[in-house]
Amino acid sequence: MPEYSLCARAVERVSSAEPDFISAYHEWADSGTRERAHVHYWYTQEYDKVWDDYWQAYDILEERRLQLYMPHPMPWSDQMHDVREEQSRNRRETFYPMQVRFWRVCPLWVHMGREIGQANGDRLYTWRATLDNWERFVTNYNVPSFKESLSSAQRSSFKVLEDWWHAKYNFKTLTKAAQDYMYERVDTVATEPMRSLKKSPRKNFSLYHSFAFELFVSEFSPSSWEPQMSYNFLWGLQLLRWRASRYAVSQRVALSTFGCPEPPDGDYPIVTLNEGTWHDSIASRGLPHYLWDNEGLRTVRVAELDFKPEYVCISHTWGRWRLPSFVGVDGVPWPVPENSLYNAQNG
């Protein structure tokens, strides 16, 4: 009975304190943590500190709940547990820091920052940073050394965006609507631009316009890039480049074919190879997947090189002189077919 009386008193105390207790939970849930965390790149020390403080506050509230003799979980306790577990699981599954072999397909603004140090990484006023990065990139693109530093995928992407920005084969009202949408928000805090794109004006009028606008944001917005989740983001970027370039070609062909009053001139955009679908060749840049290193006497993966190599093509099989047998060659991770003219093992 003493134990029962203790619980009864606890119920009375909790009943009188419940409004404050519930308010504390609501205040914790509405603290704006997600917005503050998104200002930082995921899985960085700054990002982790925001979430650590958030969950530490939750643990203190839970400890207080137990101190108030409330052993049963609150209605939202299971949900909070699932959210916490999901965050841990996502980190395990998506944490993939940027690697050297991925630089050749990174977003255009990231490449500019790495190459010449002129990039705006402000994720708080992300629309201002997006337009700032675009204007800087356009200026630097005229510098031969900077242009040469870009991969074929990056140059193709810029060509698509340059044509879209100047409405070379898009309706000018659509391009202007997208530009106005961004310029009107340069002084607005917008930590998740990709989500707000769904509400952007005139985006549902044209597939070409829609994909070009999304590609523009993905290439130049700091909030659309996560260096600690590089593989997932680069896979998505390469896929978007491929889709946007396909629709750009289709758009131009359609306007030229069906009697556009002012047919577009200049080169056609190049469809970007969707290298993002191949894990081992995301940065292969249209080069062979493997090359023979004459100095190191070994086979190397092009995707793992941090430079664009020069190479020559030779054949180690000779048609009717090819033999049905294979031989192992030092430094080559696969069997090499033999021929009757040359000894493959001697190079």
285 within some domain = no
Using the predicted structure, report yes or no on whether residue 321 has a pLDDT greater than 80: no
Give the span between the Cα atoms of 151 and 163, in whole angstroms. Answer: 19
Residue 310 has a pLDDT of: 79
Q: Which two tokens stand for residue 168?
A: 């070379």
Whole-prediction pTM:
0.66
pLDDT the model gives residue 164 = 94
Q: Determine contact, residues 156/162, Cβ cutoff 8 Å.
A: no
* pLDDT in the model for residue 137: 96
Q: What is the DSSP letter of 330?
A: T
Confidence of residue 71 (pLDDT cuts 50, 70, 90): low
What pLDDT shows up at residue 155?
A: 92
| Mean pLDDT, rounded, for 283-303 | 74
Measured CA to CA, the distance from residue 121 to residue 309 in angstroms comes to 31
Of 68, 94, 120, the position where a domain reaches its end is: 94
Contact between 39 and 123 under an 8 Å Cβ cutoff? The reply is yes
Residue 14 has pLDDT above 50, yes or no: no
Same domain, 230 and 142: yes
Of 70, 94, 118, the residue that ends a domain is: 94
185 and 266 part of one domain? yes
Query: What residue numbers bound the domain in which 209 lies?
Result: 101-277
Q: Per-residue pLDDT averaged across 9-15, rounded? A: 36
Question: Among the residues of 68-189, which ranges form H helices?
Answer: 77-94, 108-116, 126-141, 144-149, 152-165, 172-183
Which pair of tokens denotes residue 166? 């100047």
Summarize pLDDT for 103-147 with one digit per residue, the tens.
888 999 999 999 998 888 888 888 999 999 999 999 999 999 999
Residue of 151, 167, 142 lying closest to 108 (CA atoms): 151
Q: Is there a single domain that holds both residue 30 and residue 152? A: no
